[in-house]
Structure 1
Amino acid sequence: MSNAQPTAIANSALPASFFQQDARTLAVALLGKVIRRRLDGLWLSARIIETEAYLLEEKGSHASLGFTEARRALFMEGGIIYMYYARGGDSMNCSAAGAGNGVLLKSAYPLTDHLSGVTSLQHMQRLNPNRDGSPRGEQRLCAGQTLLCRALGIKVPDWNAQAFCPDNLYIEDDGYRPEQVIQAARLGIPAGRDEALPYRFVDAAYAAHCTRNPLGRGRAAGRDYRLLTLQQAEQTAASGGPLAG
């Protein structure tokens, strides 16, 4: 890999200013963006298809439990990586505007392009195989917050409270935009901790490949989710209103 490549990469990385927005609008803005990780001489890449926003003032957020050294990234400026262990695996977030606010990178879809070829995809599959050791299929390779981190080799001790680095780990805009966005309640929030807040956002084109399909059997529009155009999602993400309507 030539010495000139990191400079070219740096020009495509999202600037720190991109993350200086409300966590809910940032959660929508991150849909479709590409996360890239340089590891073992390869660029590993995935398109972000599912995000969740968390705010200091609501009970579902880690920040609502108070400041700790482990959570310090959430209280820093926008665009700082916050990592923690979820269900025994690494989980990646980024801080947003305002102390205590952030976005969870919930799931992604592996990407092969000019920078990440088939060899990169195969390396991601080696990093995140099925339980029996066989290669995990593309559709489920990054279908969850811990699977995403495992496939990209992103670990809590290495990246918590660090800034994105154009030479090793960054997010870029390659021009892709979701046509429709699904808004729904976040997953895994305990009862009584603002579990109904509709702060989960999914690129509808990838709904079947995210953590849990919000359009699955038994789920109804208006009651369980809203299907929005990208413009509608951008306009309403910060409203925090009910799912119906």
Structure 2
Amino acid sequence: MPVETAALARFLIGKLVARALPDGLVSGRIVETEAYGVGDAAGHGYGGMTERNRSLFLERGHAYVYFIYGRSWMLNVSSETPGVGAGVLIRAIEPRDGVSIMRLNRGTSVLRDLARGPGRLAAALRVDRSLDGIDLCRDGPLWLARGDDPAGEIGQSVRIGISREADRPLRFYLRGSPFLSGPRPLNV
């Protein structure tokens, strides 16, 4: 697993994120990420460690889960060495296992909309604060895994939905995937 944040964001495209739930396994192929590296004013680690973001400062490969807009959980992967606050936001996945469970979790039957966008993704996988800080590289309730499919062609664009350092090309995505969350001009 790469140590530098942007390299990790690119590396994660095509990998799997999986969640063990009481009603079964849910998983998806990661098709979109965003990097929030060291010194990035748009990143949650920019102002230093707090109780809320402490998981972002763990060794790379840990979950950093936070609540935003009063309605959505976001799943991130810590990306640097211990004590350095940086991470990768998992923006979208292509559903693989447990699609019927994801449909119930999200309240929609539209496959494309199950996990297209970070809030939808967290809802589909039932990600919440209880998963904050877990090691995603070990067995547990949520983990990352290698995918069987080749990653495909990876595109790069500016990040979405931020105001600080918005022009930095730190969003990575699987070209041609119908499961991307970004606007069409950014998904070329």
Same fold per superposition (TM over 0.5): yes
Is the 8 Å Cα contact of residues 44 and 152 (structure 1) preserved in structure 2? yes
Q: TM-score, normalised by structure 2?
A: 0.91
Q: Which residue of 2 aligns with 1:238?
A: none
Deviation readout 1:183-221 (Å, 9 max, x if unpaired) = 00001111xx21111000010021x321124xx2xx3xx
4+ residue segments displaced more than 6 Å: none
Q: Give me the CA root mean square deviation.
A: 1.6
Aligned with 1:202 (options 173, 176, 182) = 173
- Per mean C-alpha deviation after superposition, the further-off stretch among 95-104 and 173-182 is 173-182
- Report the Cα offset of residue 168 of structure 1: 1.9
Q: Which residue of 2 aligns with 1:186?
A: 159
- Report the Cα offset of residue 65 of structure 1: 2.1
Aligned with 1:212 (options 178, 182, 187) = 182
Query: Does 2:9 correspond to 1:27?
Result: yes
- Using the aligned pairs only, state the percent identity: 26
Q: Which residue of 1 aligns with 2:141?
A: 168
Q: Which residue of 2 aligns with 1:82?
A: 64
Structure 1 spans left out of the alignment, 5+ residues = 1-17, 130-134, 228-245
Q: Which residue of 1 aligns with 2:121?
A: 148
Amino acid at match of 1:77: E
- Report the Cα offset of residue 162 of structure 1: 2.0
- Report the Cα offset of residue 176 of structure 1: 1.9
- Report the Cα offset of residue 21 of structure 1: 1.3
Matches of 2:17 and 2:146 in 1, distance apart? 9
Higher fraction of helix: 1
How do residues 1-245 of structure 1 correspond to structure 2 at under 5 angstroms?
18=1, 20-87=2-69, 88-98=71-81, 99-111=84-96, 116=97, 120-129=98-107, 135-156=108-129, 158-164=130-136, 165-190=138-163, 193-206=164-177, 208-213=178-183, 216=184, 219=185
Structure 2 spans left out of the alignment, 5+ residues = none
Deviation readout 1:94-113 (Å, 9 max, x if unpaired) = 101231111000111101xx
- Report the Cα offset of residue 121 of structure 1: 1.2
Matches of 2:150 and 2:80 in 1, distance apart? 23
Is the 8 Å Cα contact of residues 44 and 86 (structure 2) preserved in structure 1? no
Matches of 1:29 and 1:177 in 2, distance apart? 12
Matches of 1:166 and 1:106 in 2, distance apart? 22
Is the 8 Å Cα contact of residues 17 and 144 (structure 2) preserved in structure 1? yes
Matches of 2:151 and 2:59 in 1, distance apart? 27
**Of the two, which has the highest radius of gyration?**
1
Matches of 1:167 and 1:56 in 2, distance apart? 28
